């Protein structure tokens, strides 16, 4: 009997090519698309911005029908709002810069995907993420994808070994160019040339400030003009409210100091934003919360503090602090720090 695989489908090229590969490998594929957020802006839906638009859902259903396997649309909007969106709002209102994809992957895409897989009697789950799973001494680990430019393990570090044991990443050994070629060869030219969205799915116009204003009832009371200060606390000028800024920001500050200024600290309690130089953004350690580590027997441990950052060697790890061999730039509370060893993801935590 064929093994059944529940494939998370967004309607995009990666999950569509994943379906092709799974079918070719002899799996009985079942497609599922989550309805997590509906943008209220019709213009955004018309432009197909955001991975969860109605058009994307219908595209996923159409592709499943074209390839001849069953497809389900599951409404997770309430769970998504309570878990992912509320956390996004709470973190920003606390002066942090959250990464909603990390939470969504662990709690929604895998948490709910596992449950639906059981209901539909599927042995495995699969997604179009660029990542791999590998076994080491009888344990299953998340491992970096073959395409370093597209590797998405940074967003998947929260996945448990139980989840990974049932997970297939069909694209893990492929490059993005190879995926586009496969799409063309199977007659999906439109998908092969479609621009990829870099936006947060529930903020299709990429304006998180407008989203917060619309979704925080007491926004105007909590977000007011405040003071720019330097590292010593000297007042430098006025800003437009702490949530409008992120660590490392240089443009759009609305202040002239005679030299380049960068946001180095945000204090939601005092509504103060600290400005400094680029050098002030370098640090050799960071505080972390919720840290998990599955260290291998030997090998250098490295860490990433953001998706596109270079992994930096780590010299010390304890439950609340990570120390780096060389300074890292722009440590940002709310983001994830992800630990790697010999290409394996061995843990991570939230930067505090």
Residue at 158 is within a domain: yes
Do 182 and 244 reside in the same domain of the chain? no
Of 193, 213, 243, the last residue of a domain is: 193
Q: What residues does 126 pair with on adjacent strands? A: 7, 168
Tokens matching residue 194: 């479609």
Containing domain of residue 295, as a range? 282-351
Q: Are residues 313 and 257 in the same domain?
A: no
Residue 26, by phi and psi: left (phi above 0), alpha (psi -120 to 50) or beta? left
Same domain as 54, residue 25: yes
Based on the fold, state whether residues 271 and 167 are members of the same structural domain: no
Answer yes or no: do 138 and 40 share one domain.
Answer: yes
Instruction: Decide if 215 is inside a domain.
Output: no
Query: 128 with 246, same domain?
Result: no
Q: Are residue 180 and residue 229 in the same domain, yes or no?
A: no
Residue 212 lies inside a defined structural domain of this protein: no
Task: Give the catalytic positions in this structure.
Answer: 104, 201
In a shared domain, residues 125 and 29: yes
Residue 207: inside a domain, yes or no?
A: no
50 with 165, same domain: the answer is: yes
| pLDDT tens by residue, the chain, 352 residues | 789 999 999 999 999 999 999 999 999 999 999 988 865 344 443 444 444 567 888 999 999 999 999 999 999 999 999 999 999 999 999 999 999 999 999 999 999 999 999 999 999 999 999 999 999 999 999 999 999 999 999 999 999 999 999 999 999 999 999 999 999 999 999 888 887 767 788 887 889 999 999 999 999 999 999 999 999 999 999 999 999 999 999 999 999 999 999 999 999 999 999 999 999 999 999 999 999 998 787 889 999 999 989 999 999 999 899 999 999 999 999 999 999 999 999 999 999 9
The residues with which 140 forms a beta bridge, in sequence order, are 135
Q: What is the CATH number of the domain that holds 264?
A: 2.30.30.280
Secondary element (H or E) of residue 224: none
Token pair listed for 254: 């609305």
- Give domain status of residue 177, yes or no: yes
Helices (H), 175-314: 176-185, 189-193, 208-215, 219-222
Of the candidates 164, 39, 159, the residue with the CA atom closest to the CA atom of residue 102? 159
* CATH of residue 304: 2.40.30.10
Indicate if 16 and 134 belong to the same structural domain. yes
Does residue 18 sit in the same domain as residue 97?
A: yes
Is the same domain home to 232 and 185?
A: no
The answer to whether position 181 is within a domain reads yes
Contact between residue 158 and residue 99 where contact means Cβ atoms under 8 Å apart? no
Tell me, yes or no, whether 315 lies in a domain. Answer: yes
Does residue 162 lie within any of the structural domains? yes
CATH code assigned at 119: 3.40.50.620
Structural domains in the chain (count): 3
């Amino acid at each position: 009997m064929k093994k059944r695989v529940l494939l998370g489908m967004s309607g995009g090229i990666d999950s569509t090519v994943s379906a092709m590969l799974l079918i070719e490998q002899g799996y009985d594929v079942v497609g599922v698309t989550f309805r997590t957020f509906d943008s209220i802006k019709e213009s955004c839906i018309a432009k197909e911005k955001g991975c969860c638009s109605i058009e994307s859902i219908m595209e996923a259903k159409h592709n499943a029908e074209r390839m001849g396997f069953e497809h389900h649309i599951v409404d997770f909007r309430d769970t998504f709002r309570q878990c992912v969106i509320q956390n996004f709002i709470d973190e920003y209102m606390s002066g942090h810069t959250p990464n909603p994809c990390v939470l969504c992957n662990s709690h929604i895409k895998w948490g709910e995907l596992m449950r639906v897989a059981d209901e539909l009697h599927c042995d495995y789950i699969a997604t179009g993420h660029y990542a791999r799973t590998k076994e080491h001494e009888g344990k299953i680990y998340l491992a970096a994808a073959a395409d370093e430019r597209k590797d998405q393990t940074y967003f998947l570090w929260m996945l448990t070994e139980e989840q990974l044991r049932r997970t297939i990443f069909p694209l893990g050994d492929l490059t993005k160019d190879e995926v586009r070629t496969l799409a063309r060869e199977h007659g999906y030219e439109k998908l092969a040339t479609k621009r990829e969205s870099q936006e947060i799915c529930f903020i299709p116009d990429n304006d998180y400030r407008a989203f917060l204003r619309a979704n925080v009832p007491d926004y105007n009371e909590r977000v007011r003009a405040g003071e720019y200060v330097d590292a010593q606390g000297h007042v430098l000028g006025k800003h437009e409210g702490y949530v409008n800024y992120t660590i490392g920001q240089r443009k759009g500050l609305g202040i002239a100091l005679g030299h380049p200024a960068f946001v180095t600290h945000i204090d939601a309690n005092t509504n103060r934003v600290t400005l400094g130089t680029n050098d002030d953004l370098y640090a050799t350690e960071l505080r972390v919360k919720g840290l998990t580590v599955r260290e291998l027997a030997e090998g250098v441990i490295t860490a990433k503090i953001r998706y596109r950052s270079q992994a930096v060697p780590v010299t010390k790890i304890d439950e609340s602090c990570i120390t780096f061999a060389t300074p890292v730039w722009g440590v940002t509370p709310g983001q994830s720090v992800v630990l790697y060893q010999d290409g394996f993801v061995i843990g991570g935590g939230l930067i505090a």
